[in-house]
A and B are shown apart, each in its own frame.
Chain A
Amino acid sequence: MNRKKIEELLKILDENKEHWLKAINSSREMVLSNLAMLSQEPSETFEEENRAALVLERFIASGIFEPQTDEVSNVIGIIPGKHEESNILLFSHMDHQQSMSEIDRSISISKDRVTGYGVSEDNIALSILITLPDILQRLDISYNSNIVLLAASRHHGRGDLEGIRKYVRQHKNKTDFCINLVGTPLGTVNYFSLSRVRCDINCTIDAEPHNPWGKNTNISANLVINDIMNRLFSIPLPRQPKTVINLGMITGGNRYSTVSTQAQIKLEVLSENDEIMEKVIDQIHDGCVDISAKYGVEVTSDFFGRHKAGGVSYSHPLVKSAVGIVKNLGYRPLMTYNDSALAVPLSASIPSIGIGMTTGMLSSGSKGYIDISPMPTGILQLIMLLYAIDKGYCYE
């Protein structure tokens, strides 16, 4: 996409900006109301049914024709386009990791901020997604393309992006573009994904070992895990293509006074190159087998959450449009990889992009927050990007 075309797009958007922003501002309470209700509905990964029911109810209330859920609790709604020749998928995930029965899931809304568990990651994005039909109505905008709204299930951890994977598997041939809405930060432009795998390494020691080598030696599972960590550190990782191993979590043992019989490492490997990733996976697996034999204890390595490197390049008109829009709205584009849901449509060769909805602070606990005042700009960015795709500015 040449510079002239971008300028042409931004000029059209500039003409509509004020009017659109006014209409978006008038839907602020609706977005926040949906956010509050979503936040109050627990939706742990694999247990998204209640939140899915709320999303479905919201779609029905917005007048979406025949919204539906599928067997993995994805909720899908379509805003039909005038020509219905192309389909733009808009998605955000519905689930959260932490069990909500043990925490107070109530959020707090002040004049300028919404604070609480899951607000910034990514309930605000889901809230905007489900309010979009009302927002478009207020804007009096209708697109030529179908806008497919997907509230995706099973995003986190062992859910392994099953919701978006299932949708893309079934509809990849009918999806022309994909936009992944994330909570924060505003300015985010994700357009490529890394090769990724996650792995749980478990060491378990029988209380009464039958193996003579292990008998009466008081081997601690923590000690074994320490050895595995040393082995992981010795795996040669190239600078180019960049590859990293991140030891996300380590747990082990029960008490001060007992020898640990169980320990675990949860790690993630990221790489720019799929072949290197395969080699690293083999090395981790072999190392675990080796240490298992050496100590005479059970060490398992369970790999999951695998997706391949992919993406579009910066020169793709979708990326250029998104970057141009972010700059036009006065924000700095934060161009980076996405190691999560966006990888799924990208690896199916669907031109895809991830954008942030507002500013705020990510937190796995209840201290995360989003700022209210930049939120309309985040929504405006989405409306502009949909316009750009719909009017053909993002085709190569």
Chain B
Amino acid sequence: MSGLLELDGLTRRYGDLTALDGLSFSVPSGRVVGFLGPNGAGKTTTMRAIFGLTDLDSGSVRWNGAPVRPADRRRFGYMPEERGLYPSMLVGEQLEYLGRLHGLSRSDAEAATGVWLERLGVAERAGSKVDTLSHGNQQRVQLAAALVHEPELLVLDEPLSGLDPTGIDDIGAVLVERARAGCCVLFSSHQLDLVEDLCETVTIIDHGRLVAAGTVDELATAGARRLVVRVEGDREAGWAVGLPGVAISEVDGGEVRLVLEEHVDSQTVLAAAMAVGRVTEFSFARRRLSEVFREALG
């Protein structure tokens, strides 16, 4: 299983509002791609455009180099932001039905339903109506609906929201597993630490435009140097305020993350820290994804 999803110059306007503004990026197979952006950045519109659920003013969505056709979309899996299943339909029957709509035979749909319900820990609820399940289990069933036909492209809009840590671990593991199996996986989330753990590649958009993209390593090591400093007894990092060429990125529980301009000597920073107390931590660090995100958005 391999494929390549390419979005090229997607533009979508709703009256005066521009939801997508020439957005381009690609999703290769074998990787989990995190799709980030603030609320209203155009993530959901982008995902809907992949499935033809919104009309584009311009641009194209290509699968393996060719425009996406209805037949291609039956091999894609989609978990929309607004979760949706038939409330009064039985879980097992619902998944079989969706599997068959995606091209599975009856027997294969039945078998795949059993496999995915088991894999996601909701096998015992196969005979229950969806609206009798807890939020977490409905989320698992919704993911199973996106996976039941073993899609070649998996697009998930906020798949981890509202889940407990166990659910996050389970679903995260499935995403990584599908990517390892050669599937293209694109998912959006506001939980940046989870994205950092799960994704190899990240795409960040804002106002419908691409603002940053690359592997997590590339993004983490790119840009200005970062120092992590901890001074005993100091929780506000007031000593760092006003240091020339130094900006405070984050202060968290006594640990301050500083961004150094190129000309700044780190020894100057160390001296300033030592002047207010005993320095217990002083090291260079990679950019966190949250920092990448904030800096990308300006």
Partners in one complex: no
